A and B are shown apart, each in its own frame.
Chain A
Amino acid sequence: MPNDPLLTVLIDFFDLPPNTQSASITQQTIAAWDSLAMVQLITELQRTFSVEFDLDEIQTLRSYDEIRHSLEKKGKFSATPAAPML
């Protein structure tokens, strides 16, 4: 599994192949990423990274890159070493 907690979460959540590249994870490319999945994904991200998203941010969480950007702004993302997963 990748040494990137966000990538791990997204691969697990959408049941993607383990070697999926982060750049390919976007709402456009993943059919299962509908509005229901969005609600569940936000729940999952808030739980995993102990964050709360602002209303503005919610509209932008449409890809790996955008989610990562939000987490980085909150100081909740570091790719190495692996953050402890619950």
Chain B
Amino acid sequence: MYRQWIRALPDEQRAAIIEAGETAALSKVRRALRLLQTLEQKGPRFEVELLSSQNLEPVLPYLQFALSCLPSEPQLHLAPLDDIEGYVARPAESDRLLHARVVIWRVEEVLPEVLFPLSHGFPDQLLGRIEQVLERVERLVSLHRKFAPGVPLFISTLPLPSHLANRLFSSQHEAGALAAIARINSRIYNLAGARGGVHVLDVADWAATQGAAHADVLLEMMARQPWSATGQLSFGFFLARSLRPLLVPRRKALALDLDNTLWGGVIAEDDIGGLVLSHDFPGNVHLRIQRELLELRNRGILLVLLSKNNEADAKQGFDSHPEMILKWEDFVVRKVDWNHKHENLRDAAAELKLGLDSFVFLDDSDYEREQMRQAIPEVLILNESGDPLQILRALWETDAFESLTLTEEDRQRHHDYSVRAGRNVEGHNDDLEGFLRSLEMEVTIEHIEHSNLERVVTMLSKTNQFNLTTRRHSRAEVQRLLEQQGAIGLALRLRDKFGDQGIVAVLLAVPVPEEGTLNVDSFLVSCRALGRGVEDALWSAMLEEARRRTYHRVEAAYFASAKNQLVANFYDRLGFRRDAQNTNAVRYVLDRIETAAFPPWIARSSVNHAE
């Protein structure tokens, strides 16, 4: 999970983390935590509340350690044991600062009767108790949404009990422990699927893959803490991985090799008939690799083909091999030539307007992986061995592409970027405005509200290039900003001749104490809508809205990041004057609000005024 981050650490810290991870010893974990504290560059602060029916206090150092490796600077708030609803139904102001609330519960506390069914009215009375637990789960979610609606809630599934007598009988009845757990978990999955902001922490899945090795009956009886040392550490990393999407955007593109990866053999040498790709072993391994890759594509990960071949040979493999799952067109960019792969990857990144740290690289050749590692350290190397089975495992186990949700934009991404990659080729067209007009763009300006909030927060977390301040607001922070009297939150939705592109630009502005003055907190445009003038469209709408609300002055800022050079002079172009600046930041003022022209090549459809 943290391979790439760890490589950049000083030797002492790196060694301490590795030792803690390998030994699972508490003293080593504490030592690694102490050393991480001394780092100058820590991860972002990460406020996590833990509500649990089991005793998590002894486990906290392990959780702290695993979350630190995201990297983050975790602040863990552990509620009193068993006080789950009491904690959730608490209108605390501090909820606003939480990044995640995690509920961890077990059948041992939630429904202990099913462990002793014949002593508790098996089966009818027990079935009634199961219903009560289902209601409890629903009530918990309602309470959370009432008192802390902006905070992502993670509810654990119930793992099967490690210690249960008469398992055989238990499995035969719907009032048995195993069926009860299945029903409760099923309700938890339903709730998470149905509502934004509610997620599953699938402890049942974790415990199943850990097996009995994570359990310790002595500690369970002694302290209501059921896990061995390795179990505690493993749970820490499982928790970190589950919460990770809140902090770390997933990688957007996978650049991969062809020969001995998508198929066994080398097309230029073996010809079509000699390639290993079939339903029989070992060709089925490559077939499975292709299925996994197609699934990634369909989830919104862009595939880029990097192959040292003659393009005609490579294409023939796609066109002629009867078992191919992936099509030539499933790759948004194809670089099939004899250039260095890192050069081709840089070119692909430029064409797609993606940062190099959005890329993952997959190649069977040790040489190619090593060269990529040295040439572009930002690129994550997916696999550590060229063996096809190891490649498959790397695809199964990587967290680089994981996400909690799937948006319509994700499903459309392959199509959108294919169009864009093609467009860049056309882009040599000198008549830029003519080209833009040919796209038949139409935008809708929306106020940020419940229905588009998720996309806005996603954009805030992901957008790097056209992003003036790179403020990674959480959902709760955006809501807090917009609750201020006079705040303006706008989102721009783009349609063009290729279809609905979704929300591609966002602007947040809040009033400052100085009378009639608005401060632009965030202004960003998705990288797939760059160069099309949507920022001017959104700015025009923003000024109109500001005038409508009788503002007469605007303040703004540009904070330089590693990626946003593109907009270093953006506010100069909009007519702001520079008020103050240092190496990393420029503060701007616009002393008078006038109207700004909407780009003539963009049509504007109705304004949504629902607030």
| Contact of B398 with A by CB under 8 A | no
**Are the C-beta atoms of B228 and A42 separated by less than 8 Å?**
no
- Asked whether B219 lies within 8 Å of A36 as measured between CB atoms, the reply is no
Chain B window 37-60, contacts with chain A (Cβ cutoff 8 Å), 1 for yes, 0 for no: 000000000000000000001100
Q: Look across to chain B and name the residue whose beta carbon is closest to the beta carbon of A9.
A: B27
Say yes or no for A52: interface residue by CB 8 A criterion: yes
Q: How big is the A interface, by class?
A: 10 to 19
On whether A47 and B225 interact (CB within 8 A), knowing A12-B27, A36-B58, A40-B26, the answer reads: no
Chain A neighbourhood of B218, CB < 8 A: 42, 46, 52-53, 55, 58
- Dominant secondary structure at the B interface: helix
User: Which listed residue, A42, A52, A55, A86, touches B23 by the CB 8 Å rule?
Assistant: A86
**Interface status of A82 (Cβ within 8 A of chain B):** no
Pairwise interchain contact B25-A86, C-beta atoms closer than 8 A: yes
**Which A residues between 39 and 55 are near B, CB-CB below 8 angstroms?**
39-40, 42-44, 46-48, 52-53, 55
Residue of B nearest to A39 (CB): B223
B111 at the A interface (CB under 8 A)? no
Question: Please, how many angstroms separate the alpha-carbon atoms of A12 and B19 in the complex?
Answer: 14
A34 to chain B, nearest CB (A): 11
Question: B57 to A36, Cβ gap below 8 A?
Answer: yes
Residues of B within 8 A of A43 (CB): 26, 58, 216, 219, 228-229, 232
What chain A residues lie within 8 Å of B165 (beta carbons)?
none
Number of interface residues of B (CB under 8 A): 21
A27 to chain B, nearest CB (A): 16
Known: A40-B58, A43-B58, A43-B232. A48 touches B225 (CB 8 A): no
Residue-wise, chain A 53-69 has the 8 Å CB interface mask toward B (1 for contact) of 10100100000000000
Contact pattern, B 216-247, Cβ under 8 Å of A = 1, otherwise 0: 10110011010011101000000000000000
B439 within 8 A of A: no
Which residues of chain B from 1 to 60 have any CB-CB distance to chain A below 8 Å in the complex?
22-28, 30-31, 57-58
CB distance from B162 to the nearest CB of A (A): 15
Binary B-proximity of A5-22 (CB < 8 A = 1, otherwise 0)? 000010011010000000
Interface residues of chain B, those whose CB is within 8 Å of chain A, are 22-28, 30-31, 57-58, 216, 218-219, 222-223, 225, 228-230, 232
Task: Give me 17 A-to-B residue pairs in the complex whose CB atoms sit less than 8 angstroms apart, sorted by A's number.
Answer: A9-B27, A12-B25, A13-B27, A39-B219, A39-B222, A43-B26, A43-B216, A43-B219, A43-B228, A43-B229, A43-B232, A47-B24, A47-B228, A47-B230, A58-B218, A58-B222, A86-B23
Name A residues whose Cβ lies closer than 8 Å to a Cβ of B: 9, 12-13, 15, 36, 39-40, 42-44, 46-48, 52-53, 55, 58, 86
Given contacts A13-B26, A43-B216, 16 further A-B contacts (CB under 8 A): A9-B27, A13-B27, A15-B30, A36-B58, A39-B222, A39-B225, A42-B219, A43-B219, A43-B229, A43-B232, A44-B25, A47-B24, A47-B229, A52-B218, A58-B222, A86-B23
